[in-house]
Structure 1
Amino acid sequence: MTGAVRLIRSGSLSDVAEYAYAATASADARFIHLAGACPLNDDGSTAAVGDYAGQAAVCVANLRTALKDAGAGLEDVLSTRVLVASGRQEDLVAAWEVVRDAFGAHDVPSTLMGVTVLGYDDQLVEVEAVAAVAG
């Protein structure tokens, strides 16, 4: 799309991480700060109740829609924060793998966090993002 985002990989840090460690945007970029994408159906009900991966997929779909409405796409994202309502690492990984796979080669810097609770009934996952497009 716009090419305003450049991912930065560090040869000085572990290569175990499945994402770039940093990202920059061109000087003329317009930033887009997105609210957390939630696993909500069109009627406002929570999708994929009890399913971390299923909720992550709906979050990504809703994130794509919000980005499109703002004139951007996943390739314009600078960073993400994936919130998972669980203290179990395997639940965090289940959600993370869906988000990671959705971004593919555009492996943006990301933070994966286990949290106590999220805002909607039965909500297990939320994905926040910041994007940049040419001004």
Structure 2
Amino acid sequence: MPRSITLIRSTALSDVAEYAYAATAPAESRLIFLAGACPLNEDGSTAAIGDYTGQAVKAIENLRVALAASGASLRDVINTRVLVASTRQEDLGSVWRVVRDSFGDHDVPSTLMGVTVLGYANQLVEIEAVAAVLDS
């Protein structure tokens, strides 16, 4: 399947960020707006209770499943928003490392946010994404 995403970097902006600052997709792309991927097991229970890293791994796993059901993969993601129920930068950092490593060199524009609470019991992580694909 052809890839439609172009990641954009700017030498006028800090190179400290571990992601592209912008991304584009051609007009003929099909956009896929995914609900937040949560760290839920098939039976609806929360995975890895109390473990930020474990919940990030499960959320990425569920994101991959939702993308596949939409005819896409992580390489088609154009933007993410990573929500972490914590006020500690260390917790946000541990989640970010899982997300960053999962996407590899496809370092899409991302926002990492600490929030007070998420929707499911014992939920610490949620990952929203938008993808773009060119159907052949």
Q: TM-score, normalised by structure 2?
A: 0.98
Q: Partners of 2:2 and 2:51 in 1: how far apart? A: 34
**1:71-129 deviation per Cα after TM superposition (whole angstroms, max 9, x unaligned):** 00000000000000000000000101000000000000000000000000000000000
- For each residue in 1:33-69, what CA deviation from the matched residue of structure 2 results, as whole angstroms up to 9, or x when unmatched? 0000000001000000000010000000000000000
Counterpart position of 2:57? 57
Report 1:36-115 matches (<5 A). Answer: 36-115=36-115
For the Cα contact (< 8 Å) 1:60–1:102, is it kept in 2? yes
Q: Which amino acid in the other structure matches residue 27 of structure 1?
A: A
Q: TM-score, normalised by structure 1?
A: 0.98
Say whether the 8 Å CA contact 1:2–1:76 is kept in structure 2: no
Distance 1:95 1:128 in 2: 13
Describe the SS at the equivalent of 1:18: coil
Deviation at 1:2, TM superposition (A): 2.5
Contact 1:82–1:127, Cα closer than 8 Å, also in 2: yes
Question: How many residues matched?
Answer: 135
Moved over 4 A (4+): none
- Classify the secondary structure of the residue corresponding to 2:128: strand
Asked whether 1:23 is paired with 2:23, we answer: yes
Name the CA distance, whole Å, in 1 between partners of 2:76 and 2:118.
26
Cα distance between partner residues in 1 of 2:28 and 2:12: 29
Residue identity opposite 1:25 in structure 2:
A
| Structure 2: runs of 5 or more not aligned | none
